[in-house]
């Protein structure tokens, strides 16, 4: 029944939006998406929150793989919201969100009150890397209507990576604001696990063990090894090229198998943002993070210097 209502609401909103001024149409579409997120929020047992391009799909693949091994599920179907729960009632409903539409719907724009009493995993990544990855998402994978609704640069705008990253609406400063909003509220979230993308890349088995145990499962060494191998960058690129996860929509599907920039799994390189800027630009972006990002995630130069000692 929910799926019927969801689809009807989606098409009704789209029909109404045709006759509305652009700004009102965007507000209505954001409300629709927030309403759908709130429905999942009310029914979930766990939340995975992240800014876009922080590795959420990669983590989803790993979690899916672990549940597949635990419960003998098909390996080419990724976890959605409750599709695994329908296959086995012991598997919890997990709500994956970028925390943009939900807070607009609930009105908790300036706090993380929606997460205070929820078992929450927050996935974070170095903001400079997120910003560059966002550029490739915008340029090669994002739908034009989503660009307009979320104030990205115009569809097919001829701008450089640097100009995109400096954009005030969806560039580096916006990512820093998102992370700061979470940093201020972390102590208020009663059951929280913070996972850094960089730690997942350096030691996926150890970080997945933390996630698995937070989800109430036993961390089995053989499953962790299998999960890390299955979700390796090389293996996922191959599977994306083969459209292996076709039963899960376009989440892990290249737009053009002949263009590596259109892949969901692109480079996955820690610190890869430096490849796209000259030394002065790298210094400028790093200075932005040092000046504005609140401590706590380990991404400022001061925090990194302490870790190096």
CA dist., res. 121 & res. 173, Å (int):
23
Identify the domain containing residue 225 by its residue range: 45-297
CATH code for the domain in which residue 251 is found: 3.40.50.300
- How far apart are alpha carbons 27 and 183 in whole angstroms? 27
Look at residue 236 in the predicted model and tell me its pLDDT.
75
130 assigned to some structural domain: yes
In a domain, 100, yes or no: yes
The answer to whether the beta carbons of residues 170 and 151 sit under 8 Å apart is yes
Q: What does the block give as tokens for 295? A: 């401590």
Instruction: For residue 195, give Cα distances in angstroms to 99, 156, 200.
Output: 16, 34, 8
Q: Are 199 and 184 in contact (CB under 8 A)?
A: no
Q: Within a domain: residue 22?
A: no
Task: Give how many domains the chain has, as a whole number.
Answer: 1
- Residue 25 in any domain: the answer is no
Q: 21 and 69 in contact (C-beta within 8 Å)?
A: no
pLDDT the model gives residue 13: 78
The pTM (predicted TM-score) of the whole model is: 0.89
308 domain-assigned: no
**Edge to edge, what strands does the sheet with 191-196 contain?**
94-97, 46-50, 119-124, 191-196
Classify residue 261: in a domain, yes or no: yes
Question: What local confidence, expressed as pLDDT, does residue 242 receive?
Answer: 64
Phi, psi of 274 (to 5 degrees): -65, -20
Give domain status of residue 8, yes or no: no
In this prediction, residue 4 carries a pLDDT of 85
Tens of pLDDT along the chain (309 residues) come to 777 878 888 888 788 988 889 999 999 999 999 999 999 999 999 999 999 999 898 899 999 999 999 999 988 888 989 999 999 999 999 999 999 999 999 999 999 999 999 999 999 999 999 999 999 988 888 888 888 888 889 888 899 999 999 999 999 999 999 999 999 999 999 999 999 999 999 999 999 999 999 999 999 999 999 999 988 877 777 766 666 665 555 555 555 455 455 445 556 678 899 999 999 999 999 999 999 999 999 999 888 877 765
Q: Which tokens belong to 111?
A: 């706090």
Q: How far apart are CA 29 and CA 40, in angstroms?
A: 17
Q: What is the DSSP string of 5-63?
A: HHHHHHHHHHHHHTTS-HHHHHHHHHHHHHHHHHHHHHH-SEEEEE-TTSSHHHHHHHH
- Let me know if residue 11 belongs to a domain: no
């Amino acid at each position: 029944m929910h799926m019927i209502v969801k689809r009807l609401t989606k098409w009704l909103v789209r029909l109404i939006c045709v006759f509305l001024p652009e700004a009102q149409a965007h507000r209505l579409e954001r409300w629709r998406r927030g309403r759908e997120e709130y429905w999942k929020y009310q029914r979930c047992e766990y939340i995975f929150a992240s800014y876009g391009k922080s590795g959420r799909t990669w983590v989803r693949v790993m979690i899916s793989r672990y549940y597949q091994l635990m419960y003998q599920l098909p390996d080419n179907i990724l976890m959605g919201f409750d599709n695994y729960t329908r296959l086995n009632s012991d598997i919890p409903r997990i709500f994956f969100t970028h925390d943009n539409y939900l807070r607009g719907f609930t009105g908790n724009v300036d706090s993380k009150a929606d997460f205070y009493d929820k078992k929450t995993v927050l996935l974070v990544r170095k903001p400079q890397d997120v910003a560059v990855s966002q550029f490739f998402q915008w340029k090669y994978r994002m739908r034009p209507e989503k660009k307009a609704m979320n104030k990205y640069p115009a569809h097919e705008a001829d701008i450089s990576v640097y100009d995109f990253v400096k954009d005030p609406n969806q560039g580096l400063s916006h990512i820093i604001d998102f992370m700061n909003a979470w940093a201020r509220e972390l102590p208020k979230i009663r059951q929280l696990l913070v996972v850094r993308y960089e730690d997942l890349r350096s030691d996926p088995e150890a970080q997945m063990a933390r996630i698995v145990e937070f989800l109430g499962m036993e961390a089995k060494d053989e499953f962790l090894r299998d999960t890390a191998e299955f979700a390796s960058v090389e293996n996922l690129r191959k599977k994306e090229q083969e459209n292996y996860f076709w039963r899960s929509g376009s989440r892990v599907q290249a737009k053009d198998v002949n263009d590596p920039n259109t892949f969901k799994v692109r480079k996955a390189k820690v610190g890869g943002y430096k490849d796209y800027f000259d030394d002065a630009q790298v210094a400028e972006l790093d200075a932005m993070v040092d000046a504005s990002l609140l401590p706590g995630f380990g991404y400022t130069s001061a925090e990194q210097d302490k870790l190096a000692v």
